Structure formats: C-alpha cells, structure tokens
Chains A and B, each alone.
Chain A
C-alpha cells in the first residue's frame, strides 16, 4: 500500500482516539498525530527539495480516475513551512485551551478538525487531480471553519465563522468553474491537462482561465477586494488558530496562484501586471485599515492582508520577469514571494500567539484598555517586539530579507525596456515604501500602546507572565525569525530548487549564486550591526553606572499626571486618520458637551471597511430585497414543499416537450 493511504488511515485512527480519550489527553493525542504527520510529510518534502521527487498514483474509481500525488519542490517548500507553523500552533494551542478543559465535545471537534486541517493542507499541496483537489480543499474549508467557531456560543463568533464559510465557498465555485472548463475540453482530471489546454488555446483564453483560478485563490489568500472575510474570521478564532490561519491557511491561496502560474501557459506579462496592480492595492489598503483598528487581532488580520500584498508584488514581478525573459527579475520576485510566505507565517503566528497571551492575561483585545504590560510580562513583550520589528521589514530580522529581495527585483526591473514597465516598477516601489512606512506607524502604535507606558484601564485580575509551555513555541518561532535574518544565504539555497521550476535550470548558476553572495555580505553586515549595538551598549553601561536616579516622568510642569493623560492609540494615529479621511470610513459616536458644568461625555469611533460597504453590503442589501419578494414561497408547511418538488419534476419533464412544441411552432410559421 502507498504512503498516502497509510497517512490517511492513521489520521482517521488518531481522530477516533481523540474522541475516546479524556479531555486532558486530547491535546496530547493531537500533538502526537501532528508529530507523526509532519514527520512523514517533512521527510518526503526534504527529499523533494534535494531533487528526489515523490510520486504516487492510485486509482480512484470510475469517477475520479487516476489520482496522482506528486510532491515537487514547490509543494515541498509549502509543506515544510506549513509543518513548522502547525506544530508551534498546536504546542501553543494545547496550553491556550487549558482554560476550556471542561468542554469535552468542543475540544474533541477542535482537535479532530486540527488534525484534519493539517492533513487536508498537505493534500492540497500534493494532490494533482482536480476532483480530488476539490475534495481536500472542501475538507480544509470545513475543518478550518470548525476551528474558527471554537467559542460558538458567542453570536459574533458564529457569524464571523459563517461569513468565512460562505466566502470560501464562493472561492470554491470559481475553482470548480475553472476545473469544469478544462476537464470538459480535455476529458481528464489530471493537473497536466490544464497545462496542455492552456498551451493549445489563444493567450486571451488562457488569461481568462488564469483569472478564474486567480479569483478562487485570491479569496483564500485575502487579496483586496476579496479580503472581507479575513478581519472577521481571525479575531473570532482562538489565538493559535488565528496564528495558523494567518500564517498558513491563507498561504494556500498563494500556493494555488503559484501552482497555476506553473501550469497555465500564457502571456505572463499580462498575468504579472494584473497581479502586481492588485497586490499593491492590497498591500496599501490592508495596512491603511490596520492602522485605525482598535482590536489587536483585527489589526493583525489587516496586516495579513498587507503581507499578502507584499507576497503578491513578488509574484507579480516574478511573472513580469518570466514574460520579459529576464531571469534576474523573475528570480528576485519569486524568491521574495516564497521567502516572504515563510517569513510572514513566522512573525504573524508569533504576533497572534503573543496577542493571545495578552488576551488571556487581561481579558481584553481593545488596545485602548491595555498598557504597561512590559513590566508584568517582559518575555511576551520582547517576543511581540521581535515579531513587530520583523513585520515592519527592519533589519536584522527576516522580514527585511524578503522585502530586500523584492526591492532588488524592482530596482532591477526599472531598467527594463518600455516606459510603461518602468513606470509600473516605480509605482510598485512607491507602494512598497508606503507599506513599509505605514506598517511602522502601525506597529509603533500597537507595541507602544499595548506594552509601554502605564495601564490605561485598571486590570481586574493580577497579571503574570505566561507559563513556560506557552512561551516555548513562541521562542521557537522567534529564534527562527532571527536565524533567517542573520543567515539568509542558507534560505536562498533552500528555495533555489522551487525557484528553478519558474526560472529554468540555468539561472541557478547566475542569479542563484549572485544572490547567495549578496546575502553573505548582508549576513556579515547584519552581524556587524548587532556587534556594534552590543559594543555601544557596553560602553554606555561602563559610563552611565555612575549616578542614576529614578524619578517620575517629566510632566512639563504639570504636577498631577495620571495614566489617563497618556497618549492613546486613537490619538497616536489621529493626524494620519485626518490625512486619509476620504479613503476610510469612520463611524463616530459622540455626545455633545452642554452647560457650564458639563455631564459625562462619550466618544467612540468604529472603523469600517469602505470597500466592504461598497462591494459586499450594498449588493447583499439589493439581493435581500429581491429575494424578499419570493419569501411567500417559504411558508413552513411541508405540503407546499412537496408541491414545489412535484412542480419541479413536472417542469423538468416538460422542458423537452416544450422545446419540441416550440420547434414545431417555428416550423409551422416557416411553412406559412
């Protein structure tokens, strides 16, 4: 029997085991199952990255046909990064869920879905049969939905989950459409049929086919304007699930897009332009909205949108490089995209885990209510800081490396022929710089207000640092972040194999070597920078030790300062908010101050997504009104429903008869 079948059977056994054991052991069993699954898939993936591809074909009966399970270098890269985040998420999630240990059935569903979602993700990377792919994709959509609605007794969370479920199924509709299109022409469900079909048709047709798949995967990845599910689903899920969703589940969309670029042959320049423009809009729009959020998890969710934009910029310039036959451009673009996929999965999961720890300590996610946590949770603070610096793309952390790759692609592409391309590259540089600056504004706000200063609201419970079992997975992720930042050349080495699928074999000698040597320099520079900081700090320690005194913060002459006088998150971004007012939607509620001795006044601002209002809410309103006219059909009495069934069957039978009748009439008229 084949390896895939073993894994499937064992996963099912583990799920049954999760069902029968006691609550305390459910997490352990899930961890064991994941260790087992990640072990096997990583082994296969590492082999594939070394050049030994894995391929199994088994016969799926009359309907499916042959189901090939192939692990090439691209799948291998995604499998590895998925495995890492899944493992840290379950390690963290096990201790995160200790607070819910009395909800037995809930925990069973959660852990069982967790095993399933990992299994289906690996399936998505490997399965290359369209029908089977749809099955694993659906399995992933449903199991991740179950993960999101862990606290399903809260109405908001259920609503967010259903929103997620519906939107992922809209994606599946597009996916199914694309697959039906190809298989109806080619008569085969194998992915290679897509390649053959697109090679045989006009570029315009393959472009439309690509757009069909792009929309399907873009909904999963959260490209603007398909991102609206993301800011609801991420805050609703428990912290480790948010980390995993943002870290790897949305990357399934990126994987799908990359896979389709490999399969669909067409005008890559056009693909590149479309992806690039959408990505820049995604990146800038995501971070613009992230800044005005008050809920930490929602803020992080919008940052996922932003980072998907950055990955998309990489993919876009990679495609343009393919179209122009410029291996440097495509190497830099795809390398940046692949590496940023890993990097984002690391720092974003770390941010979500830290946010989860903060939530469990303070029981609030509202930034305005937090503050001063650095004294109480120093380790969580440092971990959050590392992730925040990394997400802003600052050296010496990993975000800088992938953004640097994308920048070097853009600055190289600016020299390409053609005015439009140069302008496009300039526009992208502008976008990427703006994203970087805005991300910095956002994370200085988030970090500064959550962890620094003094508490802005009294905490109801005493706050302690999280226990070691919660910190350990975070340290794992953080060390990975720093490791990539300091020795990037190793990772360029690892991603050359998947890159060669895009750029062709010969670029390993040219661009591969060039980038490795560039990053060797970078590695020394970054090491030097850390040494320099250490050295100056040492000098400072020696000099300052003389006379140090502690005093209250200088109040600028005002003697009775209180924590309420501190700058709030809202005021920190006020001038920014005024600046971009036309692009945002802020629902503001305030009570006016009246009289000589005014009463208590309130002000509350609720940021809302303007694109969501235009693209989702308005059409739904109209749809609801239209559908409302047919409400009388749904009257609740079974007799009527049976009648509808009979009417439907009658119409179905009558249609050929009616067509015949019409034909007969037409013939009659012609005779006359």
Chain B
C-alpha cells in the first residue's frame, strides 16, 4: 500500500508543469499548448542523442542521474495522510533535506564542470540561494516537531490534526512558506524566470545550458517531480488521517492543481526580482518560519 503514495506523487508530477503552462497561457490570452505538452517534450528528449562539452568530465554525466535519484529518494519519505511513506524513521526530514542537497551539490559542480562562465554564474547563485532557503525549512519542521512532539514526517502529519483550529491556521502559513520554498528550489518566478532569454539573469536554466538529450529530459522531469513533492507536503498538512480514500485523494488532487494554478498565476502577474534583492527575499522566508514557531509557542502556552 505504501507504494501508492509514490504513485500519487508521480502521477501529480506528470501533469504539474502542464497545468502551470496552461494557466499562464490562459492569463495571457493565448491558446497555449495542451496539458501534456511538457511531458511530450521530455519524452522527445529521452529519445534524442546527446552532445557533451569537451571540457566536461564524468561528473557532468552522472550529475543528472544523482539529481533525479535524490529527488526520488526524497519523494519516498513523504507520507500520504494516514499512510507513512516508503521510508519512515525518526528524523527522516533531515534525510529528506540532505539527500536533496546531495542532488543539488552535483548539479552545481556539473555546471562548473563545463568551464562556462555563465554556468558558473548560475551555479554560484544556486549554491547561495539553497544555503539561504534551508533554515526556513528546518525551522518550519522544527515548529511542527515542537507542536506535535514527534520527529518524523509521518508522525508529525498524522498527529497534526488533533489540535485546535489554530493548527490549521498555522497549516495555512506553513503552506505559504512551503510554496515559496518550492518556488525557490525550482527557480521559479519571483526569484528566477524560467522563460528568460538572457543568460546573465538566469539561475537554474543557465546551469543546464550544456545538458542535452536524456540528461536534459531527466532534469526537466526532476523539476516537475520536485514540484509535485512539495505539493504533496502541502497536501499532507490538510489531509486528515482516518479519512477514507475518497476524501483524501480528491483533497490531494485538488491541492496539487491549486498549487500548480497558483504558481501559474504568480508567474503571470509578478516580475522577477533584481538579482541582488533575491537573498533578502529568501532570507526573509526564515522570518516567516519563525512566525510559525512563535504561533506554536503560543498554542502550547509556552509564552504569555
């Protein structure tokens, strides 16, 4: 049964990017491609040959594989309502964060492997931003660990709902933080513009300039998988354990679709920040996490 979690998240990842693109096209008054167009693109890339830079080494070749495997491994940890993930142990969110960091480490050094100045620039930004965003995630999870008294994703999410209604409010705030984290981790709009045409202003896109064929397809798919993974974490905040599947699954699907539409909306109406404002924005996220922490302290009556 635990495999089902994985299947839900992978299923969500298949149409996630499509919904974002569709939303954006509707807002800009275009017909736009179909929902499965990104998937078709990835499939096309999978069957294509590849061009490797003569500067690059084996690092460049294994990095996309490790990146994908790390995200997949992180997906294994995510529970689904009352159902623990494939892997569940105390402190599994530490593993979650660090295994994602491993994938990122390899993507950064693979960008440096090509010796291109643009890719180095992207790598530098990616390394900096992921460093800045990490505390927000850990403080968020720390607040939940404090609230529930548990230290694994499954236990936290399954005991989150026995509290008062205020825990749902905290859930909404947490969802907000998670959305922003997902946007930053995937290098989306307020921080990075995936549709930009100027290499100087890119982050993630410029790191993968030299990737092609199967590797590029893998990287693109990993990006949607990452989105679906964060969507699943957000959905978990609102999945009530003990509920039958005919409640949980629609909630899960609804939240994933809402998340995708939200990202599409944000991308349609927001402009990218100036690059030097990004660190401030990202670090401010930690403050939002601290707000959640204070909320938890209030609920538990530790202050007052």
Chain A contacts to B: CB under 8 angstroms: 371-372, 374-375, 378, 385, 389, 392-395, 400, 403-404, 407-408, 411-412, 414-415, 419, 422, 425-426, 429-430, 433-434, 436-438, 440-441, 443-445, 447-449, 452-454, 518, 521-522, 525, 528-529, 532-533, 536-537, 540, 543-544, 546-556, 561, 563, 565-567, 571-576, 578-579
Query: Which residues of chain B in 154-173 are interfacial with respect to chain A, using CB atoms and an 8 Å cutoff?
Result: none
**Contacts A394-B98, A419-B302, A556-B209 known; A563 to B115 CB distance under 8 Å?**
yes
Which residues of B have CB within 8 Å of A575? 124-125, 128, 275-276, 279
Segment at the A interface, from B7-15, B21-29, B53-61, B253-261: B53-61
The answer to whether A440 and B120 touch across the interface, beta carbons within 8 angstroms, is: no
The answer to whether A441 and B54 touch across the interface, beta carbons within 8 angstroms, is: no
Which residues of A have CB within 8 Å of B6? none
**Contacts A533-B65, A565-B117 known; A429 to B123 CB distance under 8 Å?**
no
User: Complex: how many Å from CA A404 to CA B95?
Assistant: 8
Picked from B91, B125, B132, B302, the residue with its CB within 8 Å of the CB of A408 is B91
Tell me the smallest distance from the CB of A540 to a CB of chain B, in Å. 6
Which residues of B have CB within 8 Å of A411? 91, 94, 142, 145, 151
The answer to whether B117 and A419 touch across the interface, beta carbons within 8 angstroms, is: no
Q: List 9 A-B contacts (CB under 8 A).
A: A378-B57, A404-B95, A414-B142, A436-B101, A444-B127, A448-B109, A546-B49, A547-B50, A551-B51
Which residues of A have CB within 8 Å of B176? none
Whether B121 sits at the interface, judged by CB under 8 Å, is: yes
Tell me the smallest distance from the CB of A420 to a CB of chain B, in Å. 10
Given A422-B297, A525-B73, output 15 extra A-B contacts at Cβ < 8 Å. Answer: A394-B98, A395-B102, A408-B91, A411-B151, A434-B134, A437-B101, A518-B89, A529-B69, A537-B65, A540-B214, A540-B218, A549-B51, A549-B52, A550-B51, A572-B124
The answer to whether A430 and B139 touch across the interface, beta carbons within 8 angstroms, is: yes
Picked from B70, B123, B209, B213, the residue with its CB within 8 Å of the CB of A554 is B209
**Contacts A444-B127, A556-B118 known; A437 to B134 CB distance under 8 Å?**
yes
Picked from A438, A518, A567, the residue with its CB within 8 Å of the CB of B90 is A518
Query: Which residues of chain B in 101-128 are interfacial with respect to chain A, using CB atoms and an 8 Å cutoff?
Result: 101-102, 104-105, 108-109, 112-121, 123-125, 127-128
User: Complex: how many Å from CA A342 to CA B90?
Assistant: 23
Which residues of A have CB within 8 Å of B130? 437, 440
User: Complex: how many Å from CA A552 to CA B55?
Assistant: 7
Chain A interface main SS type: helix
**Contacts A395-B99, A408-B90, A575-B128 known; A448 to B123 CB distance under 8 Å?**
yes
Picked from A371, A444, A567, the residue with its CB within 8 Å of the CB of B121 is A567
Which residues of A have CB within 8 Å of B215? 540, 544
The answer to whether B303 and A419 touch across the interface, beta carbons within 8 angstroms, is: yes
The answer to whether B53 and A552 touch across the interface, beta carbons within 8 angstroms, is: yes
Which residues of A have CB within 8 Å of B109? 444, 447-448, 452
Whether B230 sits at the interface, judged by CB under 8 Å, is: no
Which residues of A have CB within 8 Å of B65? 533, 536-537, 540
Q: Which residue of A lies closest to B62 (CB)?
A: A537
The answer to whether B91 and A438 touch across the interface, beta carbons within 8 angstroms, is: no
Tell me the smallest distance from the CB of B104 to a CB of chain A, in Å. 8
The answer to whether B145 and A448 touch across the interface, beta carbons within 8 angstroms, is: no
Q: How many residues of B contact A (CB 8 A)?
A: 78
Picked from A434, A444, A551, A561, the residue with its CB within 8 Å of the CB of B52 is A551
User: Complex: how many Å from CA A400 to CA B134?
Assistant: 16
Residue of B59, B91, B214 most packed against chain A (CB within 10 A): B91
The answer to whether A566 and B115 touch across the interface, beta carbons within 8 angstroms, is: yes
The answer to whether A552 and B54 touch across the interface, beta carbons within 8 angstroms, is: yes
The answer to whether A572 and B123 touch across the interface, beta carbons within 8 angstroms, is: yes
User: Complex: how many Å from CA A55 to CA B112?
Assistant: 55
The answer to whether A429 and B105 touch across the interface, beta carbons within 8 angstroms, is: no
Picked from A429, A521, A555, A572, the residue with its CB within 8 Å of the CB of B139 is A429
User: Complex: how many Å from CA A107 to CA B134?
Assistant: 48
User: Complex: how many Å from CA A565 to CA B215?
Assistant: 25
Which residues of A have CB within 8 Å of B115? 371-372, 452-454, 553, 563, 566
**Contacts A532-B69, A532-B73 known; A521 to B89 CB distance under 8 Å?**
yes
**Contacts A411-B151, A521-B87, A548-B50 known; A453 to B131 CB distance under 8 Å?**
no
The answer to whether B121 and A374 touch across the interface, beta carbons within 8 angstroms, is: no
Whether B153 sits at the interface, judged by CB under 8 Å, is: no
The answer to whether A394 and B102 touch across the interface, beta carbons within 8 angstroms, is: yes
User: Complex: how many Å from CA A562 to CA B55?
Assistant: 12
Q: Which residue of B lies closest to A453 (CB)?
A: B115
Picked from B55, B62, B123, the residue with its CB within 8 Å of the CB of A553 is B55
The answer to whether B279 and A579 touch across the interface, beta carbons within 8 angstroms, is: yes
Tell me the smallest distance from the CB of A519 to a CB of chain B, in Å. 9
The answer to whether A412 and B112 touch across the interface, beta carbons within 8 angstroms, is: no
Tell me the smallest distance from the CB of A592 to a CB of chain B, in Å. 24
Which residues of A have CB within 8 Å of B62? 533, 537
User: Complex: how many Å from CA A444 to CA B109?
Assistant: 6
**Contacts A551-B52, A575-B276 known; A448 to B112 CB distance under 8 Å?**
yes
Which residues of A have CB within 8 Å of B72? 532
**Contacts A395-B102, A404-B95, A422-B302 known; A448 to B214 CB distance under 8 Å?**
no
Tell me the smallest distance from the CB of A372 to a CB of chain B, in Å. 8
| Closest 7 A/B residue pairs (Cβ) | A567-B120, A547-B49, A437-B131, A448-B112, A453-B115, A553-B53, A394-B102
Which residues of B have CB within 8 Å of A433? 134-135, 138
Which residues of B have CB within 8 Å of A537? 62, 65
User: Complex: how many Å from CA A448 to CA B120?
Assistant: 9
Q: Which residue of A lies closest to B77 (CB)?
A: A525
Picked from A385, A522, A572, the residue with its CB within 8 Å of the CB of B89 is A522
Whether B68 sits at the interface, judged by CB under 8 Å, is: yes
User: Complex: how many Å from CA A407 to CA B92?
Assistant: 11
Picked from A408, A533, A561, A573, the residue with its CB within 8 Å of the CB of B124 is A573
**Contacts A567-B121, A576-B128 known; A426 to B279 CB distance under 8 Å?**
no
Which residues of B have CB within 8 Å of A441? 127-128, 131
User: Complex: how many Å from CA A440 to CA B55?
Assistant: 23
The answer to whether A453 and B113 touch across the interface, beta carbons within 8 angstroms, is: yes
Whether B293 sits at the interface, judged by CB under 8 Å, is: yes
Q: Which residue of B lies closest to A332 (CB)?
A: B91
Which residues of A have CB within 8 Å of B66? 533
Which residues of B have CB within 8 Å of A430? 135, 138-139, 286
User: Complex: how many Å from CA A573 to CA B123?
Assistant: 10
User: Complex: how many Å from CA A215 to CA B132?
Assistant: 33
Whether B41 sits at the interface, judged by CB under 8 Å, is: no
The answer to whether A550 and B52 touch across the interface, beta carbons within 8 angstroms, is: yes
**Contacts A408-B90, A532-B72 known; A553 to B105 CB distance under 8 Å?**
no
Q: Which residue of B lies closest to A394 (CB)?
A: B102
User: Complex: how many Å from CA A414 to CA B127?
Assistant: 29
Which residues of A have CB within 8 Å of B49? 544, 546-549
Query: Which residues of chain B in 248-304 are interfacial with respect to chain A, using CB atoms and an 8 Å cutoff?
Result: 275-276, 279, 286, 293, 297, 302-303
